[in-house]
């Protein structure tokens, strides 16, 4: 290879490498190329060389593409609204969202309120909610307080306010947390804090967990914990499985186990089952058992049935409930026999009830007969009324005949023998 060509090849490789490094650094750690082709810092200043002169890294091809795009962009006071109208008419979802993202990245902070209202009042193709959220996320990057003012006051939409808060917390957790605490009213759980935790979890699990622990037990805390569980699994299954042992609160720890086990079981049921069975925490086992057993049973019912008996007795009933439906779908008699082997475990009535509902359409006589296995008289009577009532809507004569030939509570006999 000639020296000139060799030098050009090395230069090309170096340029590609530099471009890759620049992209990998991302918008928060270095300068970026704006729509006009200049390289800007996060504050909008162009990058200068050692002599202080502005430096442009725009190639001829990039400049030509930019100029072509700018030629299609309306000019004048109505440019922003006109361009959004154009984008809304793009039928292909990928093309429309790509154009919308480019448009959002060109907007100034003062443009977003107009754009958000215009988009909200316009008919759209496809996923308008997702595209509206793109606008709100873009607004949050340049003016989070303005975005929050719009979603909380103009829209009065808690979901969209939470989305903005979560996005802001990913960039400035302390500021988002201050806003959440200052703007929550009332004595109930703070939904704004839940949104902050969802944004913080991606960057700082320890802080997110501290905030979650400060919340009262509630749906909002559950949402925050779900976000933490997702972030843990992004780090890997081993990191996620190790995390609950760092939590002192037993109720909170059991909640994390259940959330992690549920998500893990959808990917690797065997791993989730082995992890749960090895745990010396009956309450955590109980709360996670059903989801794991259902995932395991979808792969191998016999293995799932064996796994149930490896758990603490207090968790076996919930685990069994996850096995009964897939097992009875092909073998009602075999399932009845297996359910009988669990008699005496805590909450066995729930196992029996699960079996009753698993076969009430295919074998209603056996289903009704098993109700006698419920030890709680009140629960037994309620189940007779519900199960026989549904059966009677399908075949009232069959129910009257069954009730006449079986011992049932008086209220049930009076209702169905008529």
Helices (H), 189-300: 191-200, 205-213, 219-235, 237-242, 250-267, 269-277, 282-299
The pTM of this model reads 0.71
Co-location of 118 and 59 in the same domain: no
Q: Is the domain of 80 the same as that of 66?
A: no
Same domain, 13 and 66: no
Q: Which among 93, 118, 142 is the end of a domain?
A: 142
DSSP string for residues in 115-158 = HHHHHHTS--SS-HHHHHHHHHHHHHHH-HHHHHHIIIIII--H
126 and 68 together in one domain: no
Task: Tell whether 59 is covered by a domain.
Answer: yes
| Residue 253 maps to a domain | no
pLDDT along the chain (418 residues), means of 10: 40 40 38 36 36 46 54 60 93 94 95 94 88 96 97 93 96 95 88 94 93 91 94 95 93 95 95 96 96 96 96 97 96 96 97 97 96 96 97 96 95 91
CA 273 to chain centre: 22
370 φ, ψ (degrees, to nearest 5): -70, -15
> In terms of C-beta distances under 8 Å and separation of at least 24 residues, what long-range contacts does 75-78 make, across chains too?
none
Sign of the dihedral through C-alpha 79, 81, 82, 87: positive
pLDDT in tens, 18-67: 333 333 434 443 433 333 333 323 333 333 443 444 344 446 665 555 45
Tell whether 398 is covered by a domain. yes
How many independent structural domains does the chain possess?
Answer: 4
Domain annotation covers residue 351 = no
Domain that holds residue 370: 360-418
The last residue of one of the domains, among 44, 72, 100, is 72
Is 132 within the bounds of a domain? yes
Evaluate whether residue 352 is within a structural domain: no
Kind and range of the H or E element at 374? none
């Amino acid at each position: 290879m000639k020296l000139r060509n060799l030098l050009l090849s090395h230069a090309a490789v170096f340029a590609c490498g530099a471009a890759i490094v620049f992209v990998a650094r991302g918008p928060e750690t270095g300068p970026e190329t704006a729509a006009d082709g200049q390289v800007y810092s996060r504050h909008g200043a162009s990058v200068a060389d050692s002599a202080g002169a502005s430096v442009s890294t725009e190639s001829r091809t990039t400049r030509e593409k930019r100029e072509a795009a700018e030629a299609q962009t309306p000019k004048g006071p109505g440019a922003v609204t006109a361009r959004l109208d154009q984008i809304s008419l793009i039928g292909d979802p990928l093309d429309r969202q790509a154009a919308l993202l480019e448009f959002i990245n060109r907007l100034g902070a003062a443009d977003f309120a107009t754009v958000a209202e215009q988009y909200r009042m316009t008919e759209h193709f496809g996923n308008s909610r997702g595209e509206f959220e793109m606008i709100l996320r873009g607004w949050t990057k340049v003016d989070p307080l303005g975005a929050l003012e719009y979603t909380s006051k103009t829209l009065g939409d808690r979901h969209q306010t939470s989305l903005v808060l979560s996005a802001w917390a990913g960039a400035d957790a302390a500021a988002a947390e201050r806003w959440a605490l200052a703007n929550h009213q009332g004595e109930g759980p703070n939904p704004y804090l839940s949104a902050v935790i969802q944004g913080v979890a991606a960057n700082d699990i320890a802080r997110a967990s501290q905030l979650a622990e400060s919340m009262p037990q509630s749906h909002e805390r559950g949402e925050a914990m779900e976000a933490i569980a997702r972030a843990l699994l992004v780090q890997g299954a081993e990191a996620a499985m190790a995390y609950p042992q760092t939590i002192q609160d037993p109720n909170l720890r059991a909640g994390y186990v259940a959330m992690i086990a549920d998500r893990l079981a959808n990917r690797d049921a065997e791993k989730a089952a082995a992890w749960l069975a090895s745990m010396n925490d009956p309450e955590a086992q109980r709360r996670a058992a059903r989801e794991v057993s259902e995932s395991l049973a979808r792969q191998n019912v016999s293995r799932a049935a064996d796994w149930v008996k490896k758990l603490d007795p207090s968790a076996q009933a919930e685990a069994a409930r996850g096995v009964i439906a897939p097992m009875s779908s092909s073998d009602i008699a075999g399932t009845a026999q297996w359910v009988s082997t669990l008699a005496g475990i805590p909450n066995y009535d729930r196992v029996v009830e699960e079996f009753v509902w698993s076969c009430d359409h295919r074998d209603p006589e056996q289903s009704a007969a098993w109700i006698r296995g419920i030890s709680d008289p009140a629960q037994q009577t309620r189940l007779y009324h519900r199960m026989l009532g549904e059966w009677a809507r399908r075949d009232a004569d069959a129910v009257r005949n069954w009730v006449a030939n079986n011992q049932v509570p008086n209220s049930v006999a009076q209702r169905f023998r008529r």
